[in-house]
Amino acid sequence: MADNLFFRYGAENSYRVVAAVRRNGDLTFDIGFSFCAPNDAFIKELGRNIALGRLNAGRMVTVTADQVEFCEGVYNAAMASAIEYDVRPSWLPQKVWF
């Protein structure tokens, strides 16, 4: 795995989230997300593959270093991206922890 790529995991109200994070040279981060509903089995490898696939396909958000430090900035960026790609926001967890 490249030094500029890493994964983060979160959970809220039985939802599980995997974020594939690519650190860019300009102090921004590209982040692809996968979301697992409570009624689905959480498989970490599958979540990583989905999040990385979305990141590589351009279905991601770009945030600044300041936003990564604050969960609300990342979550809001993820929500905006999810809405843009027609994901039902009601399925998303309340927060993503980094």
Per-residue model confidence as pLDDT tens digits over 48-91: 999 999 999 999 888 887 665 554 555 556 655 555 555 544 54
CA distances for 63 relative to 5, 12, 43, 44, 49, angstroms: 15, 21, 26, 24, 21
How buried is residue 3: exposed, middle or buried, by Cβ count under 10 Å (0-12/13-18/19+)?
exposed
- For the segment 18-48, what is each residue's pLDDT rounded down to a tens digit? 889 898 888 888 989 898 888 888 999 999 9
Q: How far is CA 50 from the centre of its chain?
A: 10
Quote the pLDDT of residue 97.
Answer: 45
Quote the pLDDT of residue 8.
Answer: 86
How buried is residue 57: exposed, middle or buried, by Cβ count under 10 Å (0-12/13-18/19+)?
exposed
Quote the pLDDT of residue 85.
Answer: 53
Quote the pLDDT of residue 48.
Answer: 94
Dihedral pair phi/psi, residue 58, rounded to 5°:
85, 5
pTM confidence score:
0.68
More confident residue, 2 or 61: 61
